[in-house]
Amino acid sequence: MNSWRLLVHCADRQGLVHRVTGVLFRSGCNVLVNHEFADLETGRFFMRTEFVGDIDPQPILEQTRRELPDDADVRLLQPHKPRVVTLVSREHHCLADLLVRHVFNELPATVSAVISNHPVLQDFTGKFSVPFHCVSHEGLSRADHESKLLAALKPYQPDYLVLAKYMRVLSPDFVRRYPGRIVNIHHSFLPAFAGARPYHQAFQRGVKVIGATAHIVTDDLDAGPIIVQEVMPVDHSHSPQDLARAGRDVEQLALAKALRLLFEDRVFLNGNRTVIFD
């Protein structure tokens, strides 16, 4: 018996759960976990079902589609390991967490390569037998730098790009190549302190809690759909440097949680918001 994930996103209407579970029931599948959500504001329906069954996926997909509205986005997947390329700059903590989980098979994905605009993390990446490419942005226009990035990415055909403290802004053109497939960790509790130097902004504002936000990258900087936010208390004794140091732990944690959710197909986009089944 194989394990499967059925993912449905469509306009809401009566009886969708009954219809979809009917297809699985008639095929002799055994549902392990089922999540559904109907957004009453937008009229959208989301469903994620884990089941085991000795099935031929194509007829199941077709039968499911016949039960759903025409606009339905339906996917039927076996647990798989998406291919991931990680973009970094100089900071190591999120990358290190990813590589450790990768090397111990804790990440439901394969880290195919690390690409950076700086060479400093090359040796560290090498310890984990993951290819490292330095694509410097020095002296290049953004368009030229991104062309080089795309060339470096091409052989890996990544399912997802993970920006693990990659400190450069990606152009809309670049983002459009990986729609809904680029994840970023921003070192603030968005929408507070979007943009540069969020810990300095947080210090200046005198906040008592700092945070980190893992989100899908869209054209609009720091405004994409949020997957995970983590927070921690701080006080007047924290300098901007203390905030940055303490914040690294929540950045790392937020990104790790978001990646698990994403790679296990638990994240649905609902306009600029997310529906997450965990």
Read off φ and ψ for residue 115, nearest 5 degrees: -120, 135
Q: Give the residue, chosen from 1, 2, 3, 33, that forms a contact with a copy of itself under the rule CB under 8 A.
A: 33
Q: Give the residue, chosen from 75, 81, 90, 127, that forms a contact with a copy of itself under the rule CB under 8 A.
A: 127
Residue 145 contacts residue 137 (beta carbons within 8 Å)? yes
Cβ 22 to a copy of itself shortest distance, Å? 5
The answer to whether 262 contacts a copy of itself (rule: CB under 8 A) is: no
Q: Give the residue, chosen from 1, 150, 151, 231, that forms a contact with a copy of itself under the rule CB under 8 A.
A: 231
The answer to whether 116 contacts a copy of itself (rule: CB under 8 A) is: no
Sort 58 into a burial class: Cβ within 10 Å, 0-12 / 13-18 / 19+.
exposed
Residue 161 contacts residue 182 (beta carbons within 8 Å)? yes
Cis peptide before 191 (omega within 30 of 0): yes
CA distance 244 to 199: 6
Site map (CB under 8 A) of a copy of itself, residues 10-29, x = contact: ----xx-xx--xx-xx--x-
The answer to whether 92 contacts a copy of itself (rule: CB under 8 A) is: yes
**What's the gap between Cα 82 and its chain centre?**
11
- Residue type, position 16, single letter: L
Count residues binding a copy of itself (CB under 8 A): 62
Smallest Cα–Cα separation from 107: which of 129, 88, 79? 79
Given the residues 222, 242, 249, 265, select the one marked as catalytic.
222
Q: Among this protein's residues, is 222 annotated catalytic?
A: yes
CA distance 135 to 251: 24
Catalytic residues: 222
Binding site residues, a copy of itself, CB under 8 A:
14-15, 17-18, 21-22, 24-25, 28, 30-34, 36-41, 92-93, 96-97, 100, 103-104, 124, 127-128, 189-193, 204-209, 211, 225-229, 231, 233, 235-237, 239, 249, 253, 256, 270, 272-276
